[in-house]
Amino acid sequence: MDSFTVTYPSSMATDQPTVAIKDSIDVAGTPTRLGSAACSDNLPANQDSAVVKHLKHNGFSITGKTVMHELAFGMTGVNHAYGTPINPLYPNLIPGGSSSGSATAVAGGAVDVAIGTDTGGSVRMPAACCGIYGFKPTFGLVSREGVWPTETLLDCVGVFARTPELITQTMQAIAPEFKAIELNQNTFELGWLTVEANDDISATIKNALLQCTGIDLTPVHLPDFDNAFEAGLTIINRETWLACKDFYATGKLGEDVAKRLEKASHTTDEAVLQAKKLRAAFIAQVDAALEKTRILVLPTLPHFPMTRAHALAGDTDMTISKLVRPFNLSGHPALSMPCPSTLDLPISIQLVGRRGDDAFLCAFAEHLAKLLSQ
């Protein structure tokens, strides 16, 4: 299977940015199959999702729809029904999920940008695995009209690109409230979020940042960070079970997703209630931290991605989302970007901003990318 599956032809003008769309987002005239054999008979969508309408209105050329981890319920990107995309820069490693095809289409140069969805890191994590940029906006900034699932507390439409400038350009197209800005300062104090991560990953990122002129790091601790990961899992388990129980009943799901859904079906009302209480507390903690420093920084991945071979053999790794999933719970904008390294392995920086401060976060990513390239 190539980096992405083109499900319908498109006439591409050379002066139009090309964009591929995750197959959980409606594109008129093509079925939304959610990467699942259980949806193989779905009829073509009657109309474009809001995000696709915005892209077309702003001159983007839709080239096709992308493979995804089945039902967007997995982190490896493996899909036995439609094929598992190959990670273009690290072919021995997983592409990441669930927006696997969107990430690989961009990383492989098939399109300029791609649209994915991020419920528990599903844009930022595959972007990190594939060595590109991935942005999850503030919850609710980008319309989810025509995006599956219809009900969610966590999911956001997000953007993949090879440059931060293309992230900004695409956000201007898909989010009318997003207004690009220019930074008017040269020095920045970042909050270095203390988290458990591979020593090589943390040291590489920290050293790269400290070598950048005008960047200072201040330690920050979020008491409920690990609890936020678990709460995010609880909420996504409940929401995905409710959205997918009919698909589960067909018996057509892949083994990994079927097992995870069966486990998710046992999520209790009390667990969801406690997760929502934790969500409120964690939002307050992140907001408070960002009052002191406008951007938090941490690794995108806590460890290196597993091999493609292990994933295809059935191995799973939910902990790879340990550093990204908490910010789905809180709803803050978060951007992953590649970090220069001497290792032949993907290392990615995650930047987290204040809710609604998406334009500043994207502008800072552009600034930081230039500093890191010097």
Residues labelled catalytic: 22, 98, 122
Determine how β-strand 61-66 pairs with β-strand 18-22: parallel
Could you tell me which residues come within 8 angstroms of residue 173 by beta carbon, excluding any fewer than 6 positions away? 54, 55, 57, 58, 59, 60
d(CA 309, CA 213): 41
Tokens in use for 210? 């400290």
d(CA 327, CA 298): 12
Beta pairing partners, 298: 350
* Helices then strands, each counted (H, E), the chain: 11, 10
User: Does the N-terminal peptide bond of residue 149 adopt cis geometry, omega within 30 degrees of 0?
Assistant: yes
Q: Are 71 and 253 in contact (CB under 8 A)?
A: yes
DSSP assignment of 177-200:
T--------S-EEEEEE-----HH
**Which of 233, 304, 265 minimizes the C-alpha distance to 74?**
233
- CA 33 to chain CA mean position, Å: 19
The helix/strand/coil state of 201 is helix
DSSP, res 31: B
Strands (E), 95-153: 113-118, 133-136
DSSP, res 346: -
d(CA 352, CA 333): 6
Left (φ > 0), alpha (ψ -120 to 50) or beta: where does 184 sit?
alpha
